[in-house]
Amino acid sequence: MDIQKLLATAKALREIDLGEIYLLRDTAKQEKPNKHHLLKQLYERLERERKCVLYESASGYVFGEGDPDSPVVFVGEAPGEEEDKLKRPFVGRAGQYLNSKLEEVGLKREKIYITNVVKSRPPGNRAPTKEEMASCLPYLRKEIEIIKPKLIVCLGATAMKGILGKEYAITKYRGHIFPYPYDTKIKVFLTYHPAYVLRNPSADKEFTEDLRAIVKLIAEA
Ligand code: URA
C-alpha cells in the first residue's frame, strides 16, 4: 500500500462511528442462542405444564444437568430415590459408579450433559410405562434440540426405547451406532445402564470398552 492510500485508510478509520461497530458486535453476540437460558425456559415449562407424569407420586421433577455445550448427552431411565431427594440426575449409587467410570476414561462429569427419559421417580423405582415415557419424551427431545450434541449415549434399554422409539436387545446392540431419528446428523450410541453393571460386574469390561469408544467418537466429532 502506498503512503497516500495508507493516509486515506487512517482518515477513514478515524471517521468511523465506533458506536455502530459495538452495536454490530453486540447483535452478533445476541444471535448465538444462549443454551443455558433456553434450558432454563424448558425446565420452567416442564414445571408449569406438569404434562410429564409421575410428578405427584415423586417429590417433583429432576431435570438434566451439565455443560449445555457438551458434544455428548448421556440419557438414563428415570430418577431414583437419591435423585428425587437432591433433584439432580445420577447422584445415587449408579451415578457415583458412572462418575468413577467417566473419570477412568478421562471424561469429566461437569463437561458432559446428563439427563433422563422420565423426569420424576417412578414409585418404588419400577421401570416407567410406555405412557409415562411418552408424556415426558417431548421435553427430552427439546433438551436435545437445544444442546445439539454430536452424540447421544443411551444408558440402557429404556433410554434406547425413548430415543430410538424401538427396542433393541442391549447385549446384542451395545456399542452400535444409530442415527437419531429427529436429527440424523446426531449419532446414537447404546450401552449398559450403570445400575445393570453394578448388578452384573462381569459387564464392567464391556462398559469400559464402550466408554472408551465414546471418548473416541467425541474426539472425531
Ligand atoms: N438411574 C437413572 O436412570 N437415572 C438417574 O438419574 C439415576 C439412576
Q: Examine residue 115 and state whether it is found in any structural domain, yes or no.
A: yes
Is 89 touching ligand 1 by the criterion CB < 6 Å?
A: yes
Could you tell which of 74, 81, 83, 88 is best to mutate to test the pocket of ligand 1, judged by most ligand atoms within 8 Å of the CB? Answer: 83
Is 159 touching ligand 1 by the criterion CB < 6 Å?
A: no
Q: With 60 as the cut, is the pLDDT of residue 40 above it?
A: yes
Q: Examine residue 205 and state whether it is found in any structural domain, yes or no.
A: yes
**Given pLDDT bands bounded at 50, 70 and 90, which one contains residue 69?**
very high
Q: What is the pLDDT of residues 72-115, one digit of tens each?
A: 999 999 999 999 999 999 999 999 999 999 999 999 999 999 99
Tell me the whole-structure pTM to 2 decimals.
0.86
pLDDT at 33: 77
**How many CA within 13 A on the CB side of residue 185?**
7
Cβ-count burial of 208 within 10 angstroms (0-12 exposed, 13-18 middle, 19+ buried)? middle
Q: Examine residue 73 and state whether it is found in any structural domain, yes or no.
A: yes
Q: With 50 as the cut, is the pLDDT of residue 23 above it?
A: no
Is 80 touching ligand 1 by the criterion CB < 6 Å?
A: yes
Q: What is the pLDDT of residues 192-217, one digit of tens each?
A: 999 999 999 999 999 999 999 999 99
pLDDT at 13: 55
Q: Ligand 1 atom closest to Cα of 193?
A: 3
Output DSSP code: residue 99: H
Nearest CA to 47 among 35, 59, 66, 61?
Answer: 61
- Amino acid 165 reads G
Q: Examine residue 93 and state whether it is found in any structural domain, yes or no.
A: yes
Q: Examine residue 48 and state whether it is found in any structural domain, yes or no.
A: no
Please say whether the beta carbons of 149 and 183 come within 8 A: no
How many domains is the chain built from?
Answer: 1
pLDDT at 14: 61
C-alpha cell at 198: 453394578
Q: Examine residue 139 and state whether it is found in any structural domain, yes or no.
A: yes
Strand order in the sheet with 183-191: 65-66, 113-116, 72-76, 151-155, 183-191, 177-180
CATH number, residue 213: 3.40.470.10
Nearest CA to 130 among 161, 107, 95?
Answer: 161
Q: What is the pLDDT of residues 151-181, one digit of tens each?
A: 999 999 999 999 999 988 999 999 999 999 9
Q: Examine residue 4 and state whether it is found in any structural domain, yes or no.
A: no
Q: Ligand 1 atom closest to Cα of 158?
A: 3
Q: Examine residue 83 and state whether it is found in any structural domain, yes or no.
A: yes
Q: Range of 95's domain?
A: 53-220
Please say whether the beta carbons of 71 and 218 come within 8 A: yes
Q: Ligand 1 atom closest to Cα of 62?
A: 6
pLDDT at 20: 47
